[in-house]
Structure 1
Amino acid sequence: MMSLKAEIWRQIYLYKRYPFSYFSDFILLILMFMAIFFSGSLAGGGIIGKTLNALVIGYVLWTLIQNTISQMGTCIANQMQNGILEQQFLMPISFKRLFFNKIVVNIVSSAIQAFLALIIIMMITNNWIKFSPITVLPFFLALLVTVGLGYLIVSLVLNFKRIGSTLVIFQYVYLGILLINFENYPLSIKYLSCLLPICPMVSWMRLIVNQRTYNFSFYLMASLFNAILWLVIGFFIFEITNQKVRKAGSLAAY
């Protein structure tokens, strides 16, 4: 519990020490949404009603993934270069628990940022989405997926050291994927989309906010499968990478 508390305070101190950097990143997310919104309005004659709801849900959940990827990747890479990462592996607390604390704190802060972005986007577009209580379920499962993604990102940084450009490319490619309305595609495409992180949760939430009828059992099972799949992948890759870098003595960035 002490280690989790320490990680929370570390994140708070970072926000206090570098407020301009975090504020700039947040404003950039809002500006990117407005660029997508206005470009869609010009090309399609206006994004209104249910289409706008789908766009907002997909984009806001993408910010959750984007923050998890960028913040975790940057944090581990900086600690690796400064030598702090090697010290953390020598601490009496389990390194698995240590990284779990980092991922949890990162996800909570990212979720708060995504929620604030949602409020501001709804204010700007004057399109207030009504969320049903059932929306909490797919959102919670989406948070579990980000835990797995957090471990995966840590593993990639530990193994390849510098992957900043790769992460940026992945983030923006995945933005396009999350904006695809897989719920409107044939069943075979829906099944394939369940393999992509958070995609079934995004489709489920869009169906809920647009008040459309849907197969509750299908989306519940698809979302559970997606959450378990990426948790297992993240834990498995992290365990393999941890053993590899320890054996090779390659925790440092150089």
Structure 2
Amino acid sequence: MTSFKAEFWRQFYLYKRYLFNYVSDFFLLVLMFMAIFWGGSLVGGGVLGTSLNALVVGYVLWSLIQNTISQMGMTVMNQAKNGILEQQYLMPISSKRLFLNKSIVNIIVSLVQAVLILLVIMIFTNHWIKIPVVLAVPFLLALVVTVGLGYLIVSLILRFKRIGSTLVIFQYIYLGVLLVNFENYSGLTKIFSLFLPICPMVSWMRLAINNHSYSMPFYLAGSVFNAALWLIIGILVFNLTDKYVKRNGTLSLY
């Protein structure tokens, strides 16, 4: 708990010290959504009703993933560069617990930012979404997936050190993936979406928000499977990478 509190206050003071930069990032995410919204209005005659609900849900969840991954990635890369990461490995806690604390703090911060983005988007578009209580289940499962993705990002940084371009490419490719309405497909395409991080949760949330009929057992089982799959993958890859860098003495950036 002490290490978690330390990580939380470290993040808090960083936001306090560099508030202007974080506020700029926040408004950039909002402006990106408005560009998509206005672009769709000009080309398609208006993004209204259920289409806008799907767009908002997909984008807000992407912003949650993007913030979690980018914050985790940049933090670990900077700490590897200035030697702090090596010092943290000397702490009397496991490296798995160390990065779990970082991941949870990043998720909390990103969650607050995602909620604020949702409110600002609804104000700008004048389109208010009624959020059913059942959405708490897929949303919590989506947070579990982000923990697994956090472990994967840390593993890539520990192994390859500088992956800034890879993070940027992943973020914008995955934005397109999350905006695809897999719930409207059938057969293999729908089954394939269960293996993509957070996709079944996004489909479930879109269907619930739009009051469409859907198979609760299918999306519940698919979301639990997706959360367990990516959490296990993240932990396994991290354990292998962690042992590799310790064995080869390649923890530092250089």
Q: Give the alignment's TM-score, normalised by structure 1.
A: 0.99
Percent of pairs with identical residues: 65
User: 1:226 maps to what in 2?
Assistant: 226
Q: Please list, as runs of the form range in 1=range in 2, the aligned pairs for 1:143-154 lying within 5 A after superposition.
A: 143-154=143-154
The CA deviation string for residues 210-248 of structure 1, in whole angstroms up to 9 with x for no partner, is 000000000000000000000001000000000000011
The CA deviation string for residues 36-90 of structure 1, in whole angstroms up to 9 with x for no partner, is 1011111111000000000000000000110111100000000000000001111
User: 1:11 maps to what in 2?
Assistant: 11
C-alpha separation in 2, matches of 1:185 and 1:40: 22
C-alpha separation in 1, matches of 2:3 and 2:251: 21
The CA deviation string for residues 71-118 of structure 1, in whole angstroms up to 9 with x for no partner, is 000000000000000011111122211111110000011011001000
C-alpha separation in 2, matches of 1:136 and 1:190: 22
Q: Please list, as runs of the form range in 1=range in 2, the aligned pairs for 1:14-25 lying within 5 A after superposition.
A: 14-25=14-25
Number of residue pairs the alignment of both structures matches: 254
User: 1:183 maps to what in 2?
Assistant: 183
SS in 2 for 1:36: helix
User: 1:252 maps to what in 2?
Assistant: 252
User: 1:126 maps to what in 2?
Assistant: 126
The CA deviation string for residues 121-160 of structure 1, in whole angstroms up to 9 with x for no partner, is 0010011000110000000000000000000000000000
User: 1:198 maps to what in 2?
Assistant: 198
C-alpha separation in 2, matches of 1:191 and 1:112: 31
User: 1:32 maps to what in 2?
Assistant: 32
User: 1:168 maps to what in 2?
Assistant: 168
User: 1:70 maps to what in 2?
Assistant: 70
Q: Please list, as runs of the form range in 1=range in 2, the aligned pairs for 1:68-147 lying within 5 A after superposition.
A: 68-147=68-147
SS in 2 for 1:24: helix
Q: Give the alignment's TM-score, normalised by structure 2.
A: 0.99
User: 2:47 maps to what in 1?
Assistant: 47
Which residue identity does 1:96 align to in structure 2?
K
Is residue 209 of structure 1 aligned with residue 213 of structure 2? no
Which residue identity does 1:141 align to in structure 2?
L
Q: What displacement does 1:188 show?
A: 1.8
C-alpha separation in 1, matches of 2:30 and 2:170: 19
Flag structure 1 segments of 5+ consecutive residues without an equivalent. none
C-alpha separation in 2, matches of 1:186 and 1:97: 40
C-alpha separation in 2, matches of 1:232 and 1:31: 35
Q: What displacement does 1:187 show?
A: 2.8
Superposed structure 1 runs of 4+ greater than 4 Å apart: none
SS in 2 for 1:131: coil
